Amino acid sequence: MGPEHKGGMDMSLPQQATVVEVGPRDGFQNEHDFVPTEQKIEIIDALSETGLRRIEATAFVHPKAIPQLADAAEVMAKIKRRRGVEYEALIPNARGM
């Protein structure tokens, strides 16, 4: 058995990995105070300039569950779309709501 096997499992590394920046969604939802919509947009626009290819900008969740993301539609509508960057939003299933 070579180094690519451990206990019968294939331990070879993938040829590529995808990095998804989740800071805007994950970070803003954990803030105690509401981050102003324009500030969220500025941060996401700045992240777009860093070379990231995928940014999870927000989540479409009920405002009672996560009031910090009540502006999800406005954020997605107003961010500056940069070529080569995918902007995503988390949409939980019924169990996650």
For residue 73, the surrounding DSSP H or E stretch is: helix 72-78
Is the pTM higher than 0.85? no
Residue 10 pLDDT more than 90?
Answer: no
Q: Where are the domains of the chain?
A: 17-90
DSSP 21: B
pLDDT in tens, 37-66: 999 999 999 999 999 999 999 999 999 999
Partners of 20 in the β-ladder: none
d(CA 35, CA 69): 9
Of the candidates 73, 87, 66, 75, the one whose C-alpha atom is nearest the C-alpha of residue 37 is 75
Per-residue tokens: 58 = 């927000």
